[in-house]
Amino acid sequence: MSSKAKSRPATSPVVFSGNGLRDGRVAWMGTEGRWEPRLGAVTPFAPEAAAEGLALAQQGERQQRVVGVYAVELGADGLPLKFRERLRLGGPSIDAEAA
């Protein structure tokens, strides 16, 4: 499998993330099972439901929607705990050249 999901049990609410197969853009999935470009559009899984969520996320891989899904733990503010994921949330922290 290409999934990067790790087996460490989640201790915080989780969503699942990956990149869209066609465009490579960041995508998020919550309890609704839909892949959305905005984190705010999905509902996190409770920590104890993370395994169930992973199975749902991996369906997205099998259906050729997303690539490399993994769990992302969220803090009390509803944002990813890890800095890397916060960067993925908002895009690069720099303004690239405009055409």
Q: Show the CA angle centred on residue 98, arms to residues 38 and 85, nearest 5°.
A: 30
CA atoms within 13 A on the CB side of 71: 26
Residue 59 CB contacts under 8 Å (≥ 6 apart), including other chains: 33
Residue with tokens 């104890």: 48
Residue 41 phi, psi dihedral angles, 5° rounding: -90, 0
83 binds another protein (CB under 8 A): yes
Among 40, 64, 76, 77, binds another protein (CB under 8 A): 64
The token pair that represents 47 in the structure block: 């920590």
Smaller CB distance to another protein: residue 4 or 48? 4
Among 6, 11, 25, 32, binds another protein (CB under 8 A): 25
Smaller CB distance to another protein: residue 49 or 89? 89
49 binds another protein (CB under 8 A): no
Q: Cβ 66 to another protein, closest distance in Å?
A: 10
76 binds another protein (CB under 8 A): no
Smaller CB distance to another protein: residue 23 or 77? 23
